[in-house]
Amino acid sequence: MQGNLRQHLATLEQATELSALQATTEALRDHYQVAHLGYHWVSADGEQYGCGTYSIEWITEYVTNDYVRIDPVIIGCFQRFHPVDWKELDWSSKPAIAFRTKAIEAGVGNQGYSIPIRGPSGQFALFSLSHNARDDDWAAFTEKHRRDLILCAHSFNQKALEIEDKRRPDPVKPLSGREVDVLTYLAMGYSRGQVAQTLALSEHTLRAYIESARFKLSATNTMHAIARAVSEGHIIMGGAARAATGNWPGRDPVQAAE
Amino acid sequence: MLRYLYGSQLDDYPKLADTMFRDRAAQFRDRLKWDVAVDAQGYERDEYDAQDPLYVIWQGPDGSHGGSMRFLPTMGPTMVNDHFSGLMDGDTVQSPYIWESTRFCLSQGSASRVAAALVLGGIEIGRGFGITQCVGVFDARMVRIYRMIGSSPDILGSSGTGAAKISVGLWTFDPADRVSVLTRARISSALSEHWYARAFGDRPAKLTARAA
């Protein structure tokens, strides 16, 4: 992951209001150098929220004409959970053709890529990028950035859910014992191979624990996860220091004998 | 052929859906003796079939089910996290890059290449959607099946012993496996790509227009 992206996601993580998500859509649009980028959520009871870089004119037109009912991106991605290139969608109906023409006129772009997310309790969200590009260039772009974009999508959704749920106490996501062990050893400077060996885990399993801990901590990479785990008191640096009394084990003969 | 279908798309394939849910009853209730619910129609269905999962299904030439498995993203409700986190000391597996895979089923008499084809379907999904790993729960009798198809998982946790042993496993998609799985399934890369594109690729109308 590129450093800038990490920074944008860190900024997003700090957000306490939905309005702050808007700034991140703009930053990510510039980061990926695409025409537009947006996040759109629909809760089970039909409540909607969106932010993005589309022009105010296009948003107004979209809302006024209730395009959400004919937009193939919404229709095609709803009830899905795999990333979708807009070319895969059904643009063949007359309203869809007219909608596409208007969208292109409004500068949305002729290409698009959306990551649908199924959240808790029937919540649904879409994270989308759109651009003007040739088919092969767009395919290369989405393939290159797919995994980072998936992370962006889920980061937006986690943050939106968190802000939405603020009145209710946020369910704490404590790290499991194994996640703590893994991060502790990594923090001690062990390599992944060493950690796997020490904890008798395969490297694949180790990776799953790291991924899981990273997500619980909303960290953008392993180092970030370790830093957060330390700063939030999930792990204590030094590993062996966990059991130590604060003295120098071995320095004092009396203590060493204990 | 390999079909990639969401639950909400199964209505368009009544024979395929009918035979899949019956084959699941035959495998999980009758052969593996799992305590699963089978409805009046003879279908083995559970609450996760109601979550509109993505099925990877092998469809025979007569349109019926030859084998299948079921995928759900771990960021939403999954069997492993809802019911089997006890096997992992209370851990849950939640990652945008990990999906849950359950109900790996082969119809009676299915050729071994069908199992390989399903593994191939998993690899294609991983490749196409940025999924690196799959988590799932299985019992001791599945171990042999997984070994047979060359897709044994890492174990995240287990409970019970012998035939009653239930485990949570983690499969890692390695793109390098695609070559050997293609061979085992006796499917060409082009054919697999074609099936994938049928499900997820450009709309046919658009392809025709571009070719014209």
Asked whether the domain spanning A177-243 has the same topology as the one spanning A3-164, the reply is no
CA B104/CA B144 separation, integer angstroms: 13
Tens of pLDDT along B186-199? 999 999 999 999 99
- Output phi, psi for B84, to 5 deg: -120, 15
For A42-81, how does the pLDDT look when each residue is reduced to its tens digit (9 = 90+)? 776 667 788 999 999 998 998 889 888 899 998 888 879 9
- Whether B170 shows a pLDDT value over 90: the answer reads yes
> What pLDDT does A223 receive?
82
Interface-testing mutation among A1, A81, A92, A203, with chain B (most B C-beta atoms within 10 A): A81
The rounded distance, in Å, linking the Cα atoms of B68 and B106 is: 7
Residue of B nearest to A154 (CA): B96
Q: What is the pLDDT of residue A44?
A: 65
Q: How confident is the model at residue B185 (pLDDT cuts 50, 70, 90)?
A: very high
pLDDT range class, residue A218, cuts 50, 70, 90: confident
Specify the pLDDT at position B145.
80
User: Given an 8 Å threshold on Cβ–Cβ distance, is B130 in contact with A154?
Assistant: no
Best of B75, B125, B171, B193 to mutate (most A CBs within 10 Å, chain A): B75
**Kind and range of the H or E element at A28?**
helix A19-32
CB contact under 8 A, B73 and A81: yes
Rounded CA-CA distance B210/B212 in Å is 5
- 3-state class percentages of chain B: helix first, strand second, coil last, to nearest 5: 45, 25, 30
**CA-based nearest residue in chain B for residue A115:** B129
Taking CB atoms and an 8 Å cutoff, what residues of chain A touch B75?
A: 117-119, 154
Q: Given B54, B94, B133, which is nearest A82 (Cβ)?
A: B54
Query: What CATH topology corresponds to A177-243?
Result: Arc Repressor Mutant, subunit A (1.10.10)
- Nearest 5°: the CA angle A81, B16, B137 is 55
Q: How many angstroms away from the CA of A209 is the closest CA of chain B?
A: 8
Per DSSP (E only), the strands in A106-247 are 111-118, 124-131
**Which residue type does B140 have?**
A
At residue A45, the pLDDT reads: 67
- pLDDT recorded at residue A237: 58
Residue A235 gets which letter from DSSP? S
Could you tell me whether strands B2-6 and A48-52 are parallel, antiparallel, or unpaired per DSSP bridges? unpaired
Q: Can you tell me the mean pLDDT for A23-48?
A: 88
Domains of chain B are: 2-211 (3.40.630.30)
Interface contact flag, A176 B90, Cβ < 8 Å? yes
Mutate to test the interface with A, among B11, B55, B91, B92 (most CBs of A within 10 A): B91
pLDDT tens-digit series, residues B82-137: 989 889 888 889 999 999 999 999 999 888 899 999 999 999 999 999 999 999 99
In this prediction, residue A239 has a pLDDT band, given cuts at 50, 70 and 90, of: very low
Q: Report, as an integer, the average pLDDT of A199-221.
A: 86
Burial class of A168 by CB neighbour count within 10 A (0 to 12, 13 to 18, 19+): exposed
Average pLDDT of every residue of chain A: 83
Report chain A residues whose CB lies below 8 A from the CB of B125.
82
pTM over cut 0.80: no
pLDDT of amino acid B55: 98
Phi-psi region of B71 (alpha: psi -120 to 50; beta: other; left: phi over 0): beta
A89-124 pLDDT, tens digit per residue, is 999 999 999 999 999 999 999 999 999 998 777 788
Chain B residues touching residue A81 (CB < 8 angstroms): 54, 72-73, 76
So where are chain A's domains?
3-164, 177-243
What dotted CATH number matches A3-164? 3.30.450.80
Q: pLDDT per residue over B35-90, tens digit each?
A: 899 999 999 999 999 999 999 999 999 999 999 999 999 998 899 999 898 898 88
The dihedral built from the CA positions of residue B132, B136, B141 and B142, taken in this order, carries a sign that is: negative
- CA–CA min distance A175, chain B (Å): 8
pLDDT for the residue A225: 85
Whole-number CA gyration radius for chain A:
23
For residue B211, what pLDDT is reported? Answer: 42
The length of chain B is 212
Task: Assess whether pLDDT exceeds 50 at residue B207.
Answer: no
The whole-number average pLDDT for the span A204-226 is: 85
